[in-house]
Structure 1
Amino acid sequence: MSEARPAPGAQTLARGLRALESIAVAPDGLSILELAEMLGVHRSIASRLLATLAEFRMVIRGADGRYRVGSGLAALASGIHSTLRVAAEPVLRELAESLGATIALLVAEGEEAVALSVVAPAQTTYHLSFRAGGRHPLDRAAGGVALLAGMPPRPGEPARVAEARERGYALTFAEVEPGAYGVGVPIPAVPGMPTACVNLITHREEIARTSPPALVAAAARIAASLS
C-alpha cells in the first residue's frame, strides 16, 4: 500500500505557512533563493508563494529584494492577541482577587516577553503592578523563563528553563523589580495561539511560594477555553 500524500491544495497551504513563519523569524527578511532553499523547492515555486503572500499584505518586498513581514500579518497577530486576551482576562481577575497579587498575561514576541493584559486586585490596599505593553528579555524573570519553558527545548538553554518545563512553573526574585517575587506558568500550547504564560508579581514571599497550583490550574483553564 502506498503512503498517502497530501492533496495539492493542502501542500501549497503548508508551504505558504512555512514560508510566512520563516520570514517572520528572519531578522533581515529572506530572498526568494533563500526561501526556496529553506523550503526545498524550486525558485519559481518560492516566487509564486511570495507573490500570493504579498497580495494579501502578509509580506512586503523591500528595495533590496528581500521579503519581510507586512501589515496584513500584524493585523492578524493583533486579532489573535485579542482572542487570547478576552479568554484570559476573566481568569486573571479571579486569580488576582483570590491571591491578592497582580496577575499578567505575557506573550513571546521575538526575544522579548510582552504584557498583553495586567490585572491588579481590587480588594487589597497595597500591591505591585505594571502597565500592559511592558516588555523585558525572555531570559529574565519568571515570565520570560515560563515562556521559554512553553517552547520546544533550545540548544544551550539555561538549566532553569528545563527545570520550569519539568515542574510546570518558574519562580524568581528581584530580576525586574527590586524586592519582588515573580511566578510564571506557561499556558499549554493551543494551535494558532502565540506562546503565552500567566505571571504573578508580589513582594510577599508566602504568596509566591504557595501560588503555583492556582496558576497552573488557571493556565489550563485558559488553554481549554481556546481549544
Structure 2
Amino acid sequence: MGARNTNANVRQPDVKPDAAGPDAAPDDPGSRTLRRGLQVLEAVLARPDGLRVVALCAATGLERAPVYRLLATLMEAGHVARRGRFLYVPGPRWAALQPAGGPPNMAVHLQPVLARISQGCGDAAFAIVREGAASHCIARHVGTHPVQILVIQVGTRQPLGVGAAGLALLAALPDVEVEAVIAANAAQLPRYGGMTPERLRILVRATRERGWSVVGNHATRNVLAVGMAVRDARGEPVAGISVASTLDRMPRQRQQLIAASCQAALRALLPADL
C-alpha cells in the first residue's frame, strides 16, 4: 500500500498533513504559523475539559516542538491556559464568550464517540456541524492504522454534502432545506471532484434509503468515507460523523461494519438529554 501514499491528505506517523481544501492559505511562513496556531487553538476549544500535548499533536498532525511553541504564544495572549502540570484548556479570554445555558458543546459530546469508532476500525473519525450551507469540522480522532486519511482538520469548512459526515447531515434535513443548501453551494460544488447539484441530490436519496452515507473520490481522490447523522433527543439532526480510508480498505462489507459501529457508539455514548 506504500506506493499509494502520495495524496496530500494521507498522513503516516510523524508526517505533517498539508492544509486541506481549495481555499488553503498561501504557504508562506507567516500564514503557515497562523494556520497551525489556529489548529491548536480550535483543538483546545473543542475539549474544554483539557488536552495533553500528545493529544494536541494527534488532533493537529503537528510535532511536539511546534505545539509547545504555539501553546506558549496562545497562553501569553490569554487564549489558552494550563490546568495542573499537563492539561491545556481554553484561557480567560474565552470564558466571557460562553453563554450560560447555551447550546451543548457537540465537540465535547462527540469526542468519546469518535474515539470508540476510530479505535475499533483503526481509521480516522471526524465530526461536523452545520453552519448555514457549510459543514464545520469540530473534532477528529486519529486511528491506529499506519495510513491515516486526514481528509479534513478541526476548523475546516466546506460545502455541506461533499464529505460523508456533511452528506449524512444534509440528507437528514427536510427537502426544502436540502434544496436551499444545494442552491447556495452550486457554484462551489464542481471544485470537489466534479460534484454537481444533481449528483448531490442522488447521493442524498441514496443516503436516506441506506440510512448512512458513502462518498468516494469527491472531496479527496482515492478516498472513501462512511457517514452518519447525529440526532438530539427530539430526533433533530444536529451533527454528522464519518470515517475515512483508502478505497481498497472500504469494500461494501466494511462500509456496513463501520456504519454499524457508528450507530452503536452514538447509542452508547451520546447523552440521552442532548
Asked if 1:80 corresponds to 2:136, the answer is: no
In 2, distance between residues paired with 1:183 and 1:201? 7
1:137 equivalent in alignment to 2:159 = yes
Deviation string 1:177-213 (CA, Å, 9 cap, x unpaired) is: 1111011100123459872011111112234353111
- Tell me whether 1:153 sits opposite 2:178 in the alignment: no
User: Is 2:229 the counterpart of 1:186?
Assistant: yes
For 1:209 and 1:177, the matched residues in 2 are separated by: 21
- The one-letter amino acid of 2:173's match is M
Give secondary structure in 2 for the equivalent of 1:151.
coil
TM-score, reference length from structure 1: 0.58
- Displacement of 1:76 in angstroms is 4.5
Instruction: Please report how far the alpha carbon of residue 150 of structure 1 lies from its aligned counterpart in structure 2 after TM superposition.
Output: 2.2
Counterpart residue number, 1:162: 205
- Report the residue type matching 1:131 in the other structure: Q
| Matching of residues 84-163 of structure 1 within 5 Å | 84-121=106-143, 123-129=144-150, 130-154=152-176, 157=179, 158-163=201-206
Give percent identity, aligned residues only: 23
Cα gap change, 1:200/1:186 in structure 2, threshold over 3 Å: closer, same or farther?
same
Greater radius of gyration (CA):
1
Aligned residues: 152
TM-score (ref. length: structure 2): 0.49
Say which SS state the counterpart of residue 176 (structure 2) adopts: coil
How far apart, in 1, do the equivalents of 2:228 and 2:271 lie?
A: 15
Task: Say if 2:258 is the partner of 1:215.
Answer: no
Q: Kindly provide the CA deviation profile for residues 71-130 of structure 1, in whole angstroms up to 9, marking residues without a partner as x.
A: xxx8559x636x222221112111101111110111111111111001011x32221113
CA RMSD of aligned residues (A): 2.9
Give the partner amino acid of 1:128: I
Distance 2:115 2:156 in 1: 19
| Residue 200, structure 1, aligned to residue 223, structure 2 | no
